[in-house]
Each structure stands twice: as structure tokens, then as C-alpha cells.
Structure 1
Amino acid sequence: MSTTTDNRLESRYAGITLEGHPHALTAWFVVTLRLLLGGMILFAGLGKLAIVSGEPFDASGFLVHGVDPASPVSGLYATMASSAVFLEVINVVIPVTQVLIGVALLVGGFLRLAALGGALQMSAFYLGGWEGDVLALFDSTLIYAVLFLALAAFGAGRILGVDRYIEQLQVGQQTLVEKYPKLRYVLG
């Protein structure tokens, strides 16, 4: 059974007001989106780990040959691939952060930090694959980036996630986020 509460979405920016009343099932869809994106990026990261795939991840193919010349980052990505040290860092950072982002989304912990990491990765992949036409606005990696940011905006870690409990941990006479308000930027 779903119940309706006095939920309200409202935003005012640049003289424009947006208002809405979400359906009682909205929370379930936010959790479902969190779990789906978490599973997607977790398995993408696991598939890049040598202990799972049998082969070490190598980003040079994407950085050198996968980036469209029309992309505004094609020169930057080629330069990154030309540095053996930088390439090795990328080869470790990409799969490890994907696994960490996936786990964070699945458990709903440090969700805003994880969602930002996911959005940044998807934006980097989007820019690398950008071909310079209007259809690029509908590229799946850009859509994933926006979905990650939507999870952060909804505070999806507070909905059936561990962020709800982390925020309420007592530190002295205060909750964790009362004592350290900047944690609200990474939790939620």
C-alpha cells in the first residue's frame, strides 16, 4: 500500500518557478534507479579488473583510437595516452572507481560523492565520444551522467540507504551532519 504525504518539489531560479507533487511511488523508483545504475557501473568496473576478466584493463585504445577527432578533448586524450605513467594511473583509477561507485550506489552510502564520480566519468566518456552533432545530446553516456546527478539531487542515499543512518550517528550531543555540516555534500 502506498501513502501520500505532503511531498513537494519546488525550485526558483532566474525568475522561473518549478513546482510539483511527486507520486507516493516516487521513492521506489528512485531506489530502483539507484540500484540499476549501481549495478551497471559496478559490473562495468568488475569487467575491467584483471582478476575478473583475465586481462588487464587498457584505456589506450579508447584514448587513442576511440576518440572522435571532432571531440574537443581529442588532443588532450591523445596526450594522456602518450604518457605511460599517466596511462597506468588511468588503467587503475577507472575500474577501481567504477567498482567503488557501484558499491556506494547499491548500499546508498556516500551517495552524492559516488554520484558525482559517476557523472564525471560519464561526462569524460561522453566528451571522448562526441562527434559534434546535435544527436550527441542523446548519447547514453550523457544521459547516464544526468541520471547520476538526479540521484544526488534526490538524496537517494537517504531512501532505503545507509546514508540515512550515517547522517544520524551521534557525535557527542549532535548528529554527525549537525557537527560536520559539510558532510551533507557527500552523503544523501
Structure 2
Amino acid sequence: MSTTTQNRLESRYAGITLEGYPHALSAWFIVALRFVMGGMILFAGLGKLAFVSGEPFDASGFLVHGVDPASPVSGLYAAMASNVALMEIINVVVPITQVLIGVALITGAFVRLAALGGAMQMAMFYLGGWEGQWLAAFDSTLIYALVFLALGAFAAGRIAGLDRYIEQIDVGGEPLVERFPTLRYLLG
């Protein structure tokens, strides 16, 4: 059932005003997008875990062989791959953060933090895959990074998500986000 209240999007920045009226179904599609992106990164992370895939995850193959020499980060990624201690950390951090980002998006908890983490990972994959051609610059990892950022910007966790409730947890007689306003940047 739809309501007669009209949604409005508006932003003013650097003397430019953007405004519009999204469809009443927009909230449903934001939730669907949150679930799809959450599922995508959750299963990517689960597939990297040894108890699921049957073998330990090793990012060095991507860092050495998957990065095009034209990429601005090819030297950095190769140096990372040659550092054994750093690779041990990366091989744990990548799958675990992907699982946590996926769970956060699906449940709608700490969505802005998760969206930032997802966008950062996609940006790192994007830079690694860059072949130096501008027409090829619009690949799926760049699109995923922007979708993650859009989920954070839309405060997708407040729409049928746990962030809506986490923000209102009573702490000393006031809602959590009023008591700790900086949490607004992580929740939503």
C-alpha cells in the first residue's frame, strides 16, 4: 500500500541545487539493492574461507599476476605481495571483512561503515584491474563501489534495517545517536 506523502530528494553543494521526487517504491528498491550487494560480497567472502573453499585464500596471485602493468598501483601491489607478513594479514582481512560487510548490509546494521568498506575494497580491485584505457575504466568494480556509496548515502540501514533500531537504543535517557552524534556516520 502506498502513501500519498511525496518523497523528496534535495541537495545543495557549491552553488548547485539538485532536487527530485523519487517513486514511492524507491524504498523497496533500496532495500533490495542492499540485500543483493550484501549477498554478493558475503558469498565472495565465504568463498575465500578455507573451510568453505577447501583451500586457504591467497591474494598474492591477484597482486602479482592479476594487476595490469599499466595500473597506477601495480608496483605497490607487487611490493605488498612480496611481503610475507603483510600477505598473511591481507589473506585474513579480505575474506573476513567481505563476510562482515555482507552480514551488515543484509541485516541493515552499521550500513554506512559497511558501505564505505565495500566501496574501498572495490576501489582497490578497480585500481588493480585498470589497464590504462579510459573507455575500459567503467568496469563492474567501479560500479559496485558507487553502489556501495549510494547505499550509505541513502542511509539504507534505516529502511527495514537494524540501524533504525540501533540508533534509538536508550543510553542514559537519550537515543544512542543523540548521546554519541558521530555514530550517525557509521549507522544509517
Deviating beyond 6 angstroms after TM superposition, the runs of 4 or more aligned structure 1 residues are: none
Give, in angstroms, the shift of residue 135 of structure 1.
2.3
Q: Which amino acid aligns with 1:95?
A: P
Distance 1:75 1:169 in 2: 47
TM-score (norm 2): 0.98
Contact 1:168–1:177 (CA under 8 A) maintained in structure 2: yes
Give, in angstroms, the shift of residue 131 of structure 1.
0.7
Q: Return 5+ residue gaps in structure 1 as ranges.
A: none
Distance 2:120 2:161 in 1: 22
2:77 corresponds to:
77
Q: Which amino acid aligns with 1:111?
A: V
TM-score (norm 1): 0.98
Contact 1:41–1:101 (CA under 8 A) maintained in structure 2: yes
Distance 2:39 2:135 in 1: 27
Contact 2:12–2:18 (CA under 8 A) maintained in structure 1: yes
What SS does the corresponding residue of 2:19 show, helix, strand or coil?
strand
2:42 matched to 1:42? yes
Contact 2:6–2:24 (CA under 8 A) maintained in structure 1: no
Query: 1:104-149 deviations in whole A, cap 9, x for unaligned?
Result: 0000000000000000000000000001112233210000000000
2:166 matched to 1:177? no
- Seq. identity, %: 77
What SS does the corresponding residue of 2:65 show, helix, strand or coil?
helix
What SS does the corresponding residue of 1:187 show, helix, strand or coil?
coil
2:165 matched to 1:165? yes
Distance 2:112 2:124 in 1: 18
What SS does the corresponding residue of 1:48 show, helix, strand or coil?
coil
1:26-37 superposed matches below 5 A:
26-37=26-37
Q: How many residues align?
A: 188
Q: Which amino acid aligns with 2:3?
A: T
2:120 matched to 1:123? no
Distance 2:135 2:163 in 1: 37
Distance 1:25 1:182 in 2: 30
Contact 1:4–1:23 (CA under 8 A) maintained in structure 2: no
What SS does the corresponding residue of 1:68 show, helix, strand or coil?
coil
Contact 2:80–2:87 (CA under 8 A) maintained in structure 1: yes
2:101 corresponds to:
101
Select between 160-169 and 128-137 the one with higher mean Cα deviation: 128-137
